[in-house]
Structure 1
Amino acid sequence: MSAVFERLKGAASADWSRYVEHDFVRRMGDGTLPDAAFRRYLVQDYLFLIQFARANALAAYKSRTLADMRRAQGALSAILDVELDLHVRLSARWGLSAMDLERAREEPATTAYTRFVLDCGASGDLLDLHVALAPCVIGYGEIGARLAAALTPDALAAHPYRDWIGEYAGAPYQGVAEAARLHLEDLAARSLTERRFGALGEMFAQACRLEADFWQMGLETQA
């Protein structure tokens, strides 16, 4: 049996491509993404990450082994201690504080995606939750690495979105993404059956569609 993440991507290939090759991603990569679009995305992604922190806390609750609990703790720490700090640093260029970000109103795309993931976790098991999380956690690693690989070191140094690209292409986050991939494999080895794969594939595809909607939200910003 091939790696479960690759199987999920293959089963949802159109939705996966629409997400990782979205025009928001393309324009961020080539530096033509409007400043206002990135700012709106960044504020909403901060709120998004707060809910994803809750999802990883739920993963700890759903865990049946100490190893799973420690993995959930590590993922929670990566959000609270690394990713949220990145968003605060990037938002400072517009004079936005952490409190400003926390007080922002959630856009419908943010609410739809995060509550979908939380519902998958609340109503299902740990595998369901990690399948719903995978497009974000692993997908951002793939997007960051691809965008960085397309730029020379000098081009990246002068890039308007170098901090975002560098964060998700960098070794620490790549380690987070790889750990998530390996954990998904481990969970699948324990409880995935061919009969169950169809439902998980649709869950993964829906998460990809919601990711694409999240990018689109940023592009629809009125500059």
Structure 2
Amino acid sequence: MTQKIVRSETPVTLVGGGSVGPGDIALALDHAPLLVAADSGAGAALEAGHVPVAVIGDFDSLRAADKVRLPADRLFPVEEQDSTDFDKALTRISAPLVLGVGFLGARVDHQLAAFSTLVRFRHQSCVLIGQHEVVFHLPPRLALPTRAGDVVSLFPMARVSGRSTGLLWPIDGLMFEPAGRIGTSNRATGPAVIETHGPGLLGIFPREALGDVVAALRSPAGAALP
């Protein structure tokens, strides 16, 4: 079992080295006040005026100029090269929720790797914040106060089914899989409830829904899949 470096009873903001918008870190910190960085994400955190409580990664992309600005006791190198820095950081955090910035946008291969991480380490609830959307692994049951017309996209990373209420195109009786049926560009007709019959389904919602997503995932009904 991977040893935890950061243990928190409140949500944690995790900053990566990818595309970080001007308001991304501040938005995440509104909901998750403890800031951790994955490798070169420390640079973005420092530029925003924050010193991470921990920096986790293989440090192959952490700039020397940023490294010297960080207290030595907050640097946690992980030498192996078989996982991404997002993997390394997320698996060493224990928190009710992690909000990730700097993992969407920029390079497509990094973004795809991040989606894989969300599924493989789904026991740790995590929401990735992008320029226009938020992305997360769906828990067994998710209830959101969506409004009629809101875009609700579901993307399978494995073969998975479920059921729904409050969606223009219900998912009941459908089998999703990456090389088969997917569920992008659905729309809410009002408050929506989505239930999944197994792991592997990502939810993609408008960025404006972040507060509602955080509340839903922190509720007892929104507990992550084991």
State the TM-score, normalized to the length of structure 1. 0.25
User: Which of the pair is proportionally richer in strand?
Assistant: 2
Considering Cα pairs closer than 8 Å and 6+ residues apart, tell me whether 1 or 2 has the greater RCO: 1
User: Which of the pair is proportionally richer in helix?
Assistant: 1
State the TM-score, normalized to the length of structure 2. 0.24
